[in-house]
Amino acid sequence: MVVVLTGAGISAESGLATFRGPDGLWEGHRPEDVATPEAFLSAPELVQRFYDDRRAALATVEPNAAHRALARLEHALGDAFLLVTQNIDDLHERAGSRRVLHMHGRLKAARCTECGESTHWDGTLVDEPPCPFCSQRALRPDVVWFGEIPYGLSEIDVALRRVRVFVSIGTSGNVYPAAGFASFARAVGARTVELNLEPSLGIDDFVEHQHGPATQVVPAWVDGFLAEREA
Ligand code: BV8
C-alpha cells in the first residue's frame, strides 16, 4: 500500500496561497479568524466571503505537474494506492486523480447546518441560498475547521496499518492529526518520504527527503518509483 498525504504546498505553483505565507497570514487573515466554528458564529459574512473568494479563484488556476504525477501513480497502482489531501481545492481531481480523500473537506461542497446534507457547490454562499434538500437558508462551506473532526479518519487508519510507502508532499506538519501520520507509518515499518520545498516540522519522521518545488521533485520521485517497480 502506498499512501500519499498532500498539503497546500502542492498547489502553490498553481497559484493558490499556502496556509501560512511569508507574512504568517492566510489570504490576509489569521486562521483562527476564518477557519473555526466560533469565527463562523461571530462573523458569518466574513467567513462565507473568505471561502466564496477561494472557491471562485479555483476557476482561474490549473493543476500542475505534481498533481499530474500523482494521477499517474494512482493509475499504475490501482487500489494499492490512497491519496489523502489536507487541501480543499479540486486540483487533484482535475489532474485525473480518482480516489482522493479530502480529510479537511472541499471548497466545492456545501453542508446544511439544518438537515446535515452535503451537496456539490461552485457558487457563493454569502447570499444564504436555500439548501437543495430542506430549503433552509443554512448552508456552510463543507470544510473541516480547527476543532472539528476531519473526514475519513477510519479509512485513513485502515490504510496506514497496511502502508509500505508513505509520501508527504507540500505540508509543513503544523496541523494534526495529519501531521502525525508519518510517525505512525514509520512505527509500522513503512518507508517514509518527504517531498517539500523545505524541511517540515516532522522531518525526523522521514527516512528519505527531496527538497525543492513540487513540480520538480514530485514527478522525479514518481518516475523513479515506477521505474524501480518495473525493474
Ligand atoms: C481535530 C480546512 C479533534 C479549512 C484546515 C489547540 C487547540 C485546538 C486545536 C488544537 C490545538 N492543538 C492542536 C490542535 C488540533 C488542531 C491543530 O492541529 N492545530 C494546529 C494549528 C496546532 N487540529 C484540528 O483542530 C483538526 N481537528 O484535531 O479534531 C480530533 C481529531 C482526531 C480525532 C478526534 C478528534 C482539524 C484541522 C483542520 C483545519 N482545517 N483546512 C480551509 O482550508 O480553509 S487546516 C489548513 O492547514 C489547510 O487544510 C492546510 O492544508 C492545512 C495544513 O497546512 P499545510 O497544508 O501544511 O500548508 P502550510 O502552508 O502550513 O505548509 C505548506 C508547505 O508547503 C510548507 O512546508 C512549504 O514549505 C511547502 N511549499 C510551499 N511551496 C511549495 C512547497 N512545497 C513544494 N513546492 C512548493 N512550490
75-129 pLDDT per residue, tens: 999 999 999 999 999 999 999 999 999 999 999 999 999 999 999 999 999 999 9
Please write the tens of the pLDDT for every residue from 51-78.
999 999 999 999 999 999 999 999 999 9
Nearest Cα residue to 86 out of 205, 178, 182, 154: 178
219 lines ligand 1 (CB under 6 A): no
Three-class secondary structure of residue 56 per DSSP? helix
CA distance 187 to 172: 20
The mean pLDDT value for 208-221 works out to 98
User: For 109, phi and psi rounded to 5 degrees?
Assistant: -145, 145
- Residue 91, Cβ density class (10 Å: 0-12 exposed, 13-18 middle, ≥19 buried): buried
Measuring from atom 80 of ligand 1, which residue has the nearest CA? 213
32 pocket-lining for ligand 1 (C-beta < 6 Å): no
User: What kind of fold does domain 1-16+63-104+151-231 have according to CATH?
Assistant: Rossmann fold (3.40.50)
Could you tell me the strand order of the sheet in which 165-169 lies? 100-102, 81-85, 2-6, 165-169, 191-196, 208-211
pLDDT score recorded for residue 32: 83
Residue 211 banded pLDDT, cuts 50, 70, 90 = very high
Distance of CA 219 to the CA centre of its chain: 18
Name which CATH class applies to 17-60+107-143.
Answer: alpha beta
User: What's the Rg (C-alpha) of the chain?
Assistant: 18
User: Which ranges constitute the DSSP H helices of 8-139?
Assistant: 9-12, 31-34, 37-42, 44-57, 65-77, 91-94
Q: Residue 17 contacts by C-beta under 8 Å, 6 or more apart in sequence?
A: 8, 26, 27
3-class DSSP state of 135: coil
The pick from 38, 101, 146, 205 for probing ligand 1's pocket by mutation, whose C-beta has the most ligand atoms within 8 angstroms, reads 146
Overall average pLDDT of the 165-173 stretch: 97
Same fold? 1-16+63-104+151-231, 17-60+107-143: no
Cell numbers that stand for 125 in this block? 454562499
The residue extents of the domains of the chain are 1-16+63-104+151-231, 17-60+107-143
Q: Is the C-beta atom of 16 inside 6 A of ligand 1? A: no
Q: Model-level pTM?
A: 0.97
Atom of ligand 1 nearest to the CA of 200: 67
